[in-house]
Structure 1
Amino acid sequence: MPFTGHVAPICAVAQALVTRGHDVRVYTGAAFRRRVESAGAALVPWQIAPDFDENDLSATFPRVVGKKGLGQLLINVQDVFIRTAPAQVEDLRTAWERTPWDAIAGDEVSLGGALFAEQTGGVRATVALLPLNLSGTHGPPSGMGIAPGRNPFTRTRDAALRAAVPLISRPLRRPLAQARAAVGLPPSARAFDKVAFSPRLVVASGVPQLDYERTDRPPSVHFVGELRAPTTVAAELPRWWGDLDGRRVVHVTQGTQNIDPSDLIRPALEALADRDVLVVVATGVSGRDELPFAVPGNARVAGFLPYAELLPRTDVVITNGGWGGVLAALSHGIPLVIAGGDLDKPEIAARVAWAGAGVNLKTGTPTAAKVAAGFDRIMADESFRDAAARVGADLRSRGGAPRAAELLESLV
């Protein structure tokens, strides 16, 4: 799917496959052409499928306006992932007829790839770029931001929630059925995750520590840590980069979606304005190097920042909980303060807190006082940094993109 947080790790896997001698094409939005081609792959752009701007979803999908929480999640899944799938299938068929491929791998919301593989009987894998959202027999359903129960009462709660999933996901049934019918597939009672995830191979970003150490994952799931391409070109650094020298650095980010800076960036800046730290803010939009409000003297702002250079110099990350950024921080052993409010962010925050590697603020719009309290907990309790180091060591040991490429090779 044409989101920066999806394209970047997919391109890392593509680059690893190219390095191993394979011909790779990446089907995604035209805005990512340079990123795809820099990985050595060829772009297959969305054409019949409605190529959209991730920073302005409502321009293409007007129903997402004003939606929050579960309402936003269900609308996003319906309109962005499911209803675009038949057109994705048409694009993929055109590409297939031009030059067939041996295997197709898609992220876990690229329903078009899943339907095309089902339609043609082709070999398919899933590269999971989000917290693993496979249904299972233990714990609560993924996505609710609830840690698995540890006593009879909470285990009963988990079982009740699992039983309620068909009712909760009922709004997805009709769009799924319509998408299948539109591409000539027979009706199916399978839920979204059973359609989207390959039953043969799931290459999952992350580590079991960030999956509640669940024991009900199928043998097709292989955790590979962080999917990141090696840095080969020196990044252009902001003019103020030298200000980081000798300072305790706190990085603040709201990712690339739901990026109203008043949600998290403003309260974080207010919380840390009088602290002896340098606050480094990423706005999440290329070229947007300023904020629409005054910033304190200990803050520096840029659109995007080179994590390969920034994270080794960062002490704490304050984030809305985007999975890619969380994995990047933890790979460097950095503890997190997470304000996850929408989509998969509450789930990510709950997983990091369960692993002991961060503080879950349990809201996407915290007050400055709440951010300050979370930051103070991190600074006062070394267990957060110790847990982040453990998770980071596991992430680094899993092989990353080269291991993902090795697993995908096994398909053919």
Structure 2
Amino acid sequence: MDHTNHVDGCQRAWHHIDVARFLFVVLPVVSHLSAPLAIAQALEDAGHEVAWCGPRSDLRPLIGPDATLHPTGKRWYRPDGESGMASVRSLWEGHVLPANRFIRDAADRAVADCRPDVVVADQYALAGALAAYRHGVPWATVCVGTLELTPPTDGMPGFAGFVRAQLDRVWAMADLPVDEHLDLRFSPYLTIGLTGPALTGPAPLPPRCVLTGPALGRRPHAPAFDWDAWDPGRRHLLVTVGTMAEHLAGDFYRRMIAATAPLADRLQVILTAGPQLVPDPPAHVLVAPRVPVLELMPRLDALVSHGGLGTVSEALAHGVPVVVAPIRHDHPTVARQVARAGAGVEVSFRSATPAELTVALTAVLDDPTYRANARRVGDSFAAAGGAATAAAHLAELAAAPPGRPGTHRPLSNAHGGTSLT
């Protein structure tokens, strides 16, 4: 573990009194960084100031050498293959609570030292919310997934009670009495959900919540891609299980390669995996540990995903239909939402046979209904506004006069997004 806590560049004075100051507090999960980065870019493009609190090794390549950074060090998390409530317990007990205990002091110092107008905290970076609460600073929550935003109504008995007990432990960890009126997962000022009603449907949402769709922005240091190997004469499929489940995906990848073999004359597969997982890929499969996802999306005909909201929503934003093979946490919820929207199909990550996977792939590739519905969802995301709308809500919160939590009212729908007041 890297326990470095000193500030990189925080002594730089904030300038322009009409410029708002934002402090982003994030956890060391790579898949959770793209959306906050895009929102921060939109804020900076609008002339505001942004500082960061999080792991230097993950953030510095993204935010550049001159950005203000309060390093937290990095605590690694390697989730297992559990599902249902077992995966929720693992998430909170194995990641959320230890990670927030690990960054607690750094987050508190960051808020005290940089005096932001607004703290912007990843939903699971509860230490950021608590530091803002302690110092009387408004904060916004960014929900990069759906597990807490649209919690499961079946298949996870005891979910609400378990999470409430964990939140009580977070208050105790911060040496603060529990505020019974405050759910730390959702800011009483502003909660930003990176999805939209085309996916969430009628699910109830927290107060002060705005749905902006995915936040897409510039991605420094995106990996290179072997475009010379790209076959323009075939259709293209991206297969990925994200950054935290590759160690679980060996058998799934083998079944997926077998499933695409009957389609090899017309389909090229781009599979994100280390070479040790797919040491001898067939000719129709390109294997790379990382790919420039946003560069690939406009060229894809379909996506196979584990159900991470980020990758799925990025595909739908580009009108790309999805086969979802959920693993844990909110993945089953995302799979159901995609299927309900008619923008893709769900398969079993653990047990779908190659033949079943071939049927699912053929459906999303050949039935135009799936692509039409994916485009419909993508159009709704575009209307919601993404990173620009999220930044506008944050700027409005920063400009609001001091007041009790909940006095901020999100922008009207004319500015994009869906607000609940």
Q: If the TM-score is normalised by the length of the shorter chain, which range does it land in?
A: 0.7 to 0.9
CA-based RMSD: 2.6
What is the percent sequence identity of the aligned residues?
28
Residue 245 (structure 2) pairs with residue 245 (structure 1): no
Q: Which amino acid aligns with 2:119?
A: I
Equivalent-residue separation in structure 2 for 1:267 and 1:291 (angstroms): 12
| Residue number in structure 2 paired with 1:61 | none
| Residue number in structure 1 paired with 2:382 | 396
Note if contact 2:224-2:291 (Cα within 8 Å) is conserved in structure 1.
no
| Residue number in structure 1 paired with 2:105 | 90
Name stretches of at least 5 consecutive residues in structure 1 with no aligned partner: 59-63, 135-140, 147-160
Tell me the CA shift for residue 321 of structure 1. 1.2
| Residue number in structure 2 paired with 1:152 | none
CA, structure 1 residues 66+376, in 2 after alignment: closer, same or farther (shift >3 Å)?
closer
| Residue number in structure 1 paired with 2:30 | 4
CA, structure 1 residues 86+361, in 2 after alignment: closer, same or farther (shift >3 Å)?
same
Note if contact 1:15-1:40 (Cα within 8 Å) is conserved in structure 2.
no
Q: What aligned pairs does 1:41-190 form with structure 2 within 5 A after superposition?
A: 41-47=67-73, 51-53=74-76, 57-58=77-78, 65=80, 67-131=82-146, 133-134=148-149, 142-143=151-152, 167-189=158-180
Note if contact 1:312-1:332 (Cα within 8 Å) is conserved in structure 2.
yes
Residue 306 (structure 2) pairs with residue 320 (structure 1): yes
Residue 51 (structure 2) pairs with residue 25 (structure 1): yes
Tell me the CA shift for residue 21 of structure 1. 1.8
Tell me the CA shift for residue 263 of structure 1. 4.2
Pick one of 265, 268, 271 that aligns with 1:278: 268
Q: In the TM superposition, what whole-angstrom CA distance separates every residue of 1:66-118 from its partner, at most 9, and x where no partner exists?
A: 64432122121123112432442311122233321111011211111122222
Q: What aligned pairs does 1:339-358 form with structure 2 within 5 A after superposition?
A: 339-358=325-344
Note if contact 1:339-1:363 (Cα within 8 Å) is conserved in structure 2.
yes
Tell me the CA shift for residue 346 of structure 1. 0.8
How many pairs were matched up?
369
Equivalent-residue separation in structure 1 for 2:65 and 2:140 (angstroms): 20
Equivalent-residue separation in structure 2 for 1:228 and 1:170 (angstroms): 34
Pick one of 350, 369, 387 that aligns with 2:373: 387
CA, structure 1 residues 323+174, in 2 after alignment: closer, same or farther (shift >3 Å)?
closer
Q: In the TM superposition, what whole-angstrom CA distance separates every residue of 1:373-403 from its partner, at most 9, and x where no partner exists?
A: 2112223422111110100111122221121
Residue 201 (structure 2) pairs with residue 212 (structure 1): yes
Note if contact 2:213-2:385 (Cα within 8 Å) is conserved in structure 1.
yes
Note if contact 1:26-1:44 (Cα within 8 Å) is conserved in structure 2.
yes
CA, structure 1 residues 224+355, in 2 after alignment: closer, same or farther (shift >3 Å)?
same
| Residue number in structure 1 paired with 2:414 | none
TM score, norm. by length of structure 2: 0.80
Equivalent-residue separation in structure 2 for 1:257 and 1:364 (angstroms): 16
Pick one of 252, 256, 261 that aligns with 1:264: 252
Tell me the CA shift for residue 18 of structure 1. 1.5
Q: In the TM superposition, what whole-angstrom CA distance separates every residue of 1:332-385 from its partner, at most 9, and x where no partner exists?
A: 101111100211111110110011100011444532122112112223422111
Between stretches 384-393 and 28-37, larger displacement belongs to 28-37
Q: Which amino acid aligns with 2:45?
A: T
Equivalent-residue separation in structure 1 for 2:90 and 2:193 (angstroms): 25
Between stretches 342-351 and 379-388, larger displacement belongs to 379-388
TM score, norm. by length of structure 1: 0.82
Note if contact 2:167-2:184 (Cα within 8 Å) is conserved in structure 1.
no
